[in-house]
Structure 1
Amino acid sequence: MQSLQIHTVHSPWFALLCLAAGIGVAWLMYRRGGPWPTGLRWLLASLRALLVALVLFLLLEPYTRRIRQEEIKPKVVLALDNSQSVGLFTPKPQITATLQALDQMAERLTAKGLEVKRTSFQAGDSSLQTFSNIPFTAQTSNLHALLEKGITPYRDQNLAAVVLLSDGIHNQGPTPTFQLYDAPVYPVALGDTIPKPDIVLEEVQYNKINYSGTSFPLVATIRQAGFTGSSVQVLLQENGKTIQRRTLSLPRKATVEVPFQVSAAQPGKKHYEVVVQPLPKEFTAVNNRRHVYLDVIKGKLKVLLAAAAPHPDIKALRSALRTNPLLDVEIVLGPFQSPAFKTPYDAAILHQIPNTGNVGTDWLRRLRSAKVPTFYILGAQTDFSAFNQLQAGVQLNNPSPQFDEVQPVLNNAFQRFSTEPLALGRIKAWPPTAVTFGDWRVAPGTEVILRQQVGAVSSSKPLLLYKSSMPVPSAVLLTDGSWQWRLTEASDHGSAQIYDALMTHLVQLLANRRNEKRLHVFPVKDAFEVSEAVALQADVFNAVQEEIFGQQIAVTLTHEGSKQTQHRFRHEQGGEGLRLGNLPVGLYRYTATANVEGQTFKDTGEFLVQEQNLESLIALADHSLLQQLAERSETRLFYPNQLTQLEKALLEANFKTILRSHQEEKDLLEQYWYYFLLLGLACAEWALRRFYGSL
């Protein structure tokens, strides 16, 4: 239902003056009579009076107000947990019958005045028309996300209730029983709570990074139900070939560990499988297999951590770097100690070197001569004149004895290495640190990792930078107060996870030498979950190792089964690189080629896609979680054979239809119909005068 009203900015009583003016003009024009009959003369006068009045009416700044009212029916969302656990551990006939009954219930609810919407875990299915053919393929069960997906689109559209159909197995995201939802939840319990005879390979414990020429353990944890005393074969396979075998007599206790000892002679990424051979009468063999992906490396990276004087930063950096077993850190505190220089360093961290006391100047000269990638940390004792000559990616012009207290802000556009989802919020909570005030100039080709924020004002000034276009890479941190960040994070969260990851990733990025390669293609992560989108980034350098852009890069991607796919992307500054999307589980190797300045260059690499396999670990439905959800919503738990009672409960809740008004205002000067009305009046008067003999 709609209504149209006309209002004016000025007093509407002025409209009488407009009408009076129109009548006056008409009287002046038609008072002497004319060649028209009396009736026609009155009609012409009326047209002229109305035309003048309507034109003058525009001086009152009129506008229209359109009011539209609509009825919003109460909405009921049917949220289906279509995860693999429901499909695996609920009998197929029961699922089929339940989904058919659910669709029929939705039709009856619609006929009785409710609007029914369907949703599930699968992306893009928020407008499902039926549940009958939906596949149960979701690889995780995030029931909180499923409920939010059903609630969020209809939060302001008279959402009355959410019907959650699930087995109660929840293995990702916040626990829904501790959340508040904007609509009552009516759970429907799927699955089976009776234990089934089954053997589950719960997990395999192993070190993801190992050294070539050594042996390392793999420990498989097996859980059994209903097979006490039975013997089972546990296999360790590589590339489909069994390399070790264990015969296990299943004990009475629920879980047991099976150890393997593995040796790898050659560096690289390795893919193993641990397989428990199925037993007769076992409910399912889906959960009898686990994949193992690990790195075998040649040796540790040698890192020099040198400071002009003792400082709290040194302990913070040492603690952070020691969380990574790949890094062998040598610590030097001048003038008390000197670097050994016995073996080449893969990277160096120089704290306030070069400095005003000339401590470490010789070390810096030797590191630059050996082309060692260097991470410079600046502070009050830094010799900025000498530092500017290093061309490390940033320069400070006209340094001041004053300091800014700045907080770090993460630059999301930096993609050399990935950061944890928690990083953005935690970094914002780090305390402010002192940065020398001055004109900081960032060199071309330098990427900002952290920016400065002064108080509540975010700026484009850098705080932590990385430059790859020198003869050797370099990084610069503009403050010597990062130790406070680590202390604060450890105090607030129990560990300094984000600080440690940031520093170790940055040092690894420096230490992974490019050997002056002209083309470098790399994955943003070494290992991806099967639910994550895979992405590759690239660096392209000219003959003097300056980064250049605009090249077409061809990538050949090879899966373990020798299946190859071809891809192309353009290397652009700040570009997205190559987005491969979600890939199947396995080890992937790639070969990339690009034409640079008339020459063809090639680079190779590899990455892993891992399967979480969470859905097959628990075969028992968790109806207690669904019961708690019902209690929090003051509803009750239903079962598939009680859908009639669920329908009755929804109807008896007597959800109300909402009458909502929408108001739209628009200036009359902006509406074409008003001008056509004026033109119609003028043309009508002209046509009548013309037809009856006089203008």
Structure 2
Amino acid sequence: QKYTINVSSLKNEITTKNNKQTIFVEVIDGRQKILLVSPSAHPDIATLKQAIELNKHYEVTMVLSDNLNTVDLNTFSLAILYQFPDQSIDSQDFVNKLKVSKMPFWYILGAQSNINGFNVLQSSVKLNRANGAIQEIFPLEASNFTLFTIDPNAIKQLVNYDPLQSPFGNLSINGNYTAILNQKIGRVNTQSPLWFFMSDEGRKMGFLLGEGIWKWKLEEAKSIQSLPLINELVSKTIQYLSAKDDKRKFKVYTNKTTFDEDEHVILNATLYNDAYEPINSADVVVQIKPENGKLFNYNFSKSGNIYRLDAGSLAEGDYSYTASTTWGNQKYTAKGSFYVNALITEFQQTTANHQLLYTMSQQNGGKMFMPDKLLKIMDELAQNGQIKTVSYEDRKYEELISFKWLFAIIMALLSVEWFLRKRNGEV
């Protein structure tokens, strides 16, 4: 969003050239709604809600499973299904809506979970529960987790935390997954995931196979030396699952939206193949057009797996650009805009910057004197050993005949002498 700010001028104002400034503000609708579905109240719910709402960009709506008929899935970015579907309420209609919506979700299993309903909701993770039994699972740090960053020292402290309560049964996973925590059963470290992530046809899914993370929160509070982990772990899980992937195969962008006249306008472009790998075998051209003016045509330079263009310095004004390329008989275009501000640095500060002047004098071996210290300049010059008196001699020769006035004086003196001698009878 472009904004032009104008300030009214004052009486006897020295300059009004600095009374106008144009800026761009990127408006991000970052407040996303998170749906939290649960069969009943639970300490885990409070832990989840508190951790999520620490980020002001998220708003949590808690809905019990017997009130799901009032939920509009289109208003939510992510669903947290806490032990849902549960064993007491038939929620098949809502489950079907979830499947059709392709909304990302985070499923948390527990003692109240309806495992058959869980297996119907998605096809990636299946659990064959044995006689409704519950087992204790301790958290174990998984290796090579890269979806988001967590303090490695903080996550290691989970080994001393209470176990989660998880439905007992055989776990089978269909597809690739990335785990941040694995299961430790008794004293046995396993490679079975406890807290992990998957993707099914572009739909992100998170799984936590146990209830009781509120106990982990209490463990954190017990020790002053404990590093904050649970809030960060929950918050970053939400951020990852709710983030919308940009699947455009051709992207063009500037490093910022507002430039000054003396700055170089830099554009970057990225082209992806069907496997979403960056490539730069195709040529990319761009047209940059000022608001009132002719088009400028440029070709991007190839740099590694991306494209780059230095359009140089441009005059003040609004600019729009349209970039295009062709790959695999498919033409791609990308558009954008930016603004160039007039360079009025000298008008933005109308009073002398004495600190700058002092710095300049120091850097160049000089000294700065304020008006009330001007008399000290003479003393400084006298004490400066680098300043020495220098004398110059210049000789020039001219013929006496060139001095007519001197000849006239000589003739006048001779005439006076002759007259005096004549009068005294000496001649």
Using the size of structure 1 for normalisation, the TM-score is 0.34
- The 5 A counterparts of 1:471-490 are 471-490=202-221
**Separation (CA, whole Å) in 2 of partners of 1:306 and 1:474:** 15
**Separation (CA, whole Å) in 2 of partners of 1:513 and 1:298:** 12
Aligned equivalent of 1:459:
190
Aligned equivalent of 1:428:
159
- Bigger-Rg structure (1/2): 2
The answer to whether the aligner puts 1:348 opposite 2:348 as a matched pair is no
Aligned equivalent of 1:437:
168
Aligned with 2:66: secondary structure?
coil
**Separation (CA, whole Å) in 2 of partners of 1:321 and 1:213:** 32
Aligned with 1:463: secondary structure?
strand
- Residue by residue, what CA displacement relative to the aligned partner does 1:259-291 show, whole Å, maximum 9, x if unpaired? xxx986323xxxxxxxxxxxxxxxxxxxxxxxx
TM-superposed CA distance for 1:483, in Å, is: 1.8
Query: Is the CA contact (8 Å cut-off) linking 1:469 and 1:541 kept in structure 2?
Result: no
TM-superposed CA distance for 1:317, in Å, is: 0.2
Q: 1:481 to 1:568 in 2, by over 3 A?
A: same
Choose which of 304, 317, 323 in structure 2 pairs with 1:567: 304
Give the counterpart letter for 2:183 in structure 1: Q
- Residue by residue, what CA displacement relative to the aligned partner does 1:560-595 show, whole Å, maximum 9, x if unpaired? xxx9883349xxxxxxxxxxxxxxxxxxxxxxxxx9
Aligned equivalent of 1:395:
126
Aligned equivalent of 1:415:
146
Aligned residues: percent identity?
A: 27
Aligned with 2:193: secondary structure?
strand
**Separation (CA, whole Å) in 1 of partners of 2:204 and 2:74:** 20
Aligned equivalent of 1:507:
238
- Residue by residue, what CA displacement relative to the aligned partner does 1:387-423 show, whole Å, maximum 9, x if unpaired? 1223353211354433332211222312111112333
TM-superposed CA distance for 1:368, in Å, is: 2.7
**Separation (CA, whole Å) in 2 of partners of 1:353 and 1:431:** 23
Aligned with 1:422: secondary structure?
helix
Query: Is the CA contact (8 Å cut-off) linking 2:139 and 2:184 kept in structure 1?
Result: yes
TM-superposed CA distance for 1:342, in Å, is: 7.8
Aligned with 2:46: secondary structure?
helix
Give the counterpart letter for 1:566 in structure 2: S
Q: 1:567 to 1:502 in 2, by over 3 A?
A: farther
Give the counterpart letter for 2:304 in structure 1: H
**Separation (CA, whole Å) in 2 of partners of 1:404 and 1:317:** 22
The answer to whether the aligner puts 1:329 opposite 2:83 as a matched pair is no
Query: Is the CA contact (8 Å cut-off) linking 1:407 and 1:431 kept in structure 2?
Result: yes
TM-superposed CA distance for 1:374, in Å, is: 0.7
Query: Is the CA contact (8 Å cut-off) linking 2:95 and 2:121 kept in structure 1?
Result: no
TM-superposed CA distance for 1:344, in Å, is: 1.8
TM-superposed CA distance for 1:331, in Å, is: 1.1
- The 5 A counterparts of 1:159-174 are none
Query: Is the CA contact (8 Å cut-off) linking 2:162 and 2:216 kept in structure 1?
Result: yes
**Separation (CA, whole Å) in 1 of partners of 2:135 and 2:248:** 39
Give the counterpart letter for 1:376 in structure 2: Y
Query: Is the CA contact (8 Å cut-off) linking 1:373 and 1:474 kept in structure 2?
Result: yes
Q: Which has the higher relative contact order, 1 or 2, with Cα contacts under 8 A spaced 6 or more apart?
A: 1
Aligned with 2:223: secondary structure?
helix
Aligned equivalent of 1:308:
39
Aligned equivalent of 1:265:
25
Aligned with 2:132: secondary structure?
coil
Aligned with 1:329: secondary structure?
strand
Aligned with 2:96: secondary structure?
helix
Q: 1:263 to 1:337 in 2, by over 3 A?
A: farther
Q: 1:565 to 1:411 in 2, by over 3 A?
A: farther
Aligned equivalent of 1:358:
89
Aligned equivalent of 1:116:
none
Choose which of 346, 367, 374 in structure 1 pairs with 2:105: 374
Query: Is the CA contact (8 Å cut-off) linking 1:408 and 1:463 kept in structure 2?
Result: yes
RMSD: 4.3
Q: Which runs of 5+ in 2 are unaligned?
A: 4-17, 252-271, 282-299, 307-325, 336-427
Choose which of 21, 29, 48 in structure 2 pairs with 1:317: 48
Aligned with 1:497: secondary structure?
coil
Give the counterpart letter for 2:209 in structure 1: L
- The 5 A counterparts of 1:523-602 are 553=279, 566-568=303-305
Q: 1:368 to 1:596 in 2, by over 3 A?
A: farther
TM-superposed CA distance for 1:377, in Å, is: 0.8
Q: 1:427 to 1:596 in 2, by over 3 A?
A: farther
Q: 1:373 to 1:379 in 2, by over 3 A?
A: same
Aligned with 1:502: secondary structure?
helix
**Separation (CA, whole Å) in 2 of partners of 1:476 and 1:419:** 18
TM-superposed CA distance for 1:320, in Å, is: 0.7
Query: Is the CA contact (8 Å cut-off) linking 1:519 and 1:602 kept in structure 2?
Result: no
TM-superposed CA distance for 1:440, in Å, is: 0.8
Using the size of structure 2 for normalisation, the TM-score is 0.53
Q: 1:416 to 1:491 in 2, by over 3 A?
A: same
Q: 1:302 to 1:385 in 2, by over 3 A?
A: same
Aligned equivalent of 1:588:
none
**Separation (CA, whole Å) in 2 of partners of 1:598 and 1:386:** 45
Aligned length: 267
TM-superposed CA distance for 1:460, in Å, is: 0.7
**Separation (CA, whole Å) in 2 of partners of 1:440 and 1:406:** 13
TM-superposed CA distance for 1:351, in Å, is: 0.8
Aligned with 2:182: secondary structure?
strand
TM-superposed CA distance for 1:424, in Å, is: 2.9
